[in-house]
Amino acid sequence: MTEGSPYLRSVRETDAQIARLLDAARTLEGLAGRTAIILTTDHGGGAPFKSHLRAHMWINYVIPFFVWTGDDAPHADLYELNAGTRRDPGLARPDADADPQPVRNADAANLALSLLGLPPVPGSVFGADHTLRVATPPDRP
């Protein structure tokens, strides 16, 4: 990565926008104490090979999946919170038939609906059982 490259400029801009979202969630009336942010990607970092054609490379399938439910929420690993329902594959490529499954980016929609107290996306497969648990502040369920 070269200083000043379009990629690094994009990373800095993304960081700035995430900071704005977090600031709003912390301070705006109606959002503070009532907001969760779910942040994930469609695939891993891909460096040095950014390609869906190289699916066998862990750098392309290990993804970030972060959930922020407030500054008072304890920091917790999703795999520790979900030991009975999700399995961390480490750097191994997860088998589509693995049981239990890893946390997948496809869990994001149903996690958001679960946090809102709403039913899962009709016909969805990942997270439809609403079992993915996240850390929440002590005063929230």
pLDDT at 60: 77
Q: For the chain, how far is it from start to end, CA to CA, in angstroms?
A: 42
DSSP 21: H
- 15 has a pLDDT exceeding 90: yes
* Separation between Cα atoms, residue 47 and residue 67, nearest integer Å: 24
User: Is the distance from CB of 76 to CB of 51 less than 8 angstroms?
Assistant: no
Tens of pLDDT, residue by residue over 48-86, are 666 667 777 787 788 889 999 998 888 899 999 999 999
Cβ atoms of 1 and 45 closer than 8 Å: no
Strand ranges, E, within 20-136: 37-40, 65-68
Instruction: Give this prediction's pTM.
Output: 0.83
Q: What is the pLDDT of residues 94-119, one digit of tens each?
A: 888 889 999 999 999 999 999 999 99
